[in-house]
Amino acid sequence: MSISGIRALRGECSVSGDKSISHRAVLLAALSPEPSRIRGLATALDCRASVRAAAQLGAEVVQRDGELLIQGAPELPAGEVRIDCGRSGTTMRLMAGVLAARKGASVLLGDPQLMARPMERVAAPLRAMGALVETASGGRAPLRILGGGLAGVHYRLPVASAQVKSAVLLAGLGASGRTVVEEPVPTRDHTERLLVAMGADIEEGWQDGVRSIGIGPAGLSGLDLEVPGDASSAAVLAAAAALVPGSCVTVRSVSANPTRTAFLSLLAEMGAAVEVGDSGRGAEAAADVTIRHRPLRAVEVGAERVPLLVDELPLLGLLATQAEGTTVVAGAGELRFKEVDRISGLTEGLRRLGAEVQESRDGFAISGPTRLRGGAVDSRGDHRLAMVFSLAGLLAEGEVTVAGTEFIGDSFPEFPAVMRSLQ
């Protein structure tokens, strides 16, 4: 794909259902003996992997009139269950928790990109609960799981991860005794919210700045959910509006979950005009968001802010090229273990376009404002980097050619069409 500069972005748009919420809603619904209705499910390819996984668990899954209807299955199908998670790390890590709690043998595998990602971080706590979990060399997939017979544990996350937290909580649904997860740094809480909505025995507490989530063994009621718009997809559009002079973009019905609004706060801190409308009630609320361009200034992001910004940090890298001063990100080593090494991929691509970038072990420093130039950049097959470099084409003097834009469909397949609608 080739992108060249445009004039201001203006108008209203919407984005597909939130990816994080969709994954969790589908997999939790597959565990309930009662029927569930999910509307506005994400169209992302990663979420389709979770829908397939639910069916492979034995759930009855029907898509009809814009709704996903799921009737859960109480037990795994007979024989070894093999579940292809595609390119979705969320599907694999959450499914590990689900399968650890169910009697039977199973294998989790996926595309080569997913098979290269670290999985020992989720395998270790599940082993502590009594599951037999085997990983391949280097702690990677495929995951071979012999589940059932779990006992609750008290587990403190060594690295902030909503996926690992969720896997342990899902395993706790089928464990004897109580399971408690401690997170020193808060992460996305979609799993907890949906568990509460489905009647799980779950408690939250704080002590000395550490959040704990406790869950007891329980069955789940059915889920009736309208999935709000994807916060990370909306962040891409918000960044575009903040970058291009004269822009004003409104994104309708975006997730207003407090653990998902950190990027909007960061944009306001950088100087962009950000307005968030009233949010509704329910397990997952939504609100309209309007972003207007204003001159940007540099910010600093430390480790304590990373978990709630982790998917949006590549966007911050591009914003930093147009901000006055030096933006510094530290404590973000987790970015090296996403679909690709996003720190290396981001810094290499921005340098090719003329940005002043310094890469560190766990982050980067970028000085601005810098007039970007055209050129060829490689997303390395990563959907988020592909969108960042596409936005860079809006600003560059000359055409920017991005390799790997076909992978944008992993999270935001409507991205090209939505961008055209705002021009």
Residue position matching structure tokens 């995951």 = 143
The count of other CB atoms within 10 Å of the CB of residue 103 is 12
Residue 203 domain-assigned? no
Q: Residue 60 pLDDT more than 80?
A: yes
Q: Please, are residues 239 and 309 in contact by the beta-carbon 8 Å criterion?
A: no
Do 46 and 10 lie in one domain? The reply is no
Do 170 and 182 lie in one domain? The reply is yes
Question: Model confidence at 80, in pLDDT bands (50, 70, 90)?
Answer: confident
pLDDT of residue 6: 72
Question: Model confidence at 233, in pLDDT bands (50, 70, 90)?
Answer: very high
Three-state DSSP state, 243: helix
Which range marks the domain in which residue 278 is found? 2-16+228-421
Q: Please, are residues 219 and 205 in contact by the beta-carbon 8 Å criterion?
A: no
Do 10 and 34 lie in one domain? The reply is no
| 14-48 per-position pLDDT tens digit | 999 999 999 999 999 999 999 999 999 999 999 99
Do 130 and 259 lie in one domain? The reply is no
pLDDT of residue 1: 64
Q: What is the C-alpha separation between 392 and 205, in angstroms, rounded?
A: 43
Average pLDDT over residues 182-198: 94
Question: Model confidence at 262, in pLDDT bands (50, 70, 90)?
Answer: very high
Q: DSSP per residue over 349-414, as a string?
A: HHHHTT-EEEEETTEEEEEE----EEEEEE-TT-HHHHHHHHHHTTTSEEEEEEETGGGGGGT-TT
Do 11 and 41 lie in one domain? The reply is no
Per annotation, catalytic residue among 311, 378, 382, 410: 311
pLDDT of residue 129: 97
CATH number where 368 lies: 3.65.10.10
Q: Please, are residues 62 and 68 in contact by the beta-carbon 8 Å criterion?
A: yes
201 part of the active site:
no
In one-letter notation, the amino acid at residue 242 is: A
pLDDT of residue 371: 94
| 150-159 per-position pLDDT tens digit | 999 999 999 8
302-337: b or e for each residue (b if 16 or more CB lie within 10 Å)?
A: ebebbbbbbbbbbbbbbbbbbbeeebbbbbbebbee
Do 259 and 243 lie in one domain? The reply is yes
pTM over 0.75: yes
Number of domains in the chain: 2
pLDDT of residue 2: 60
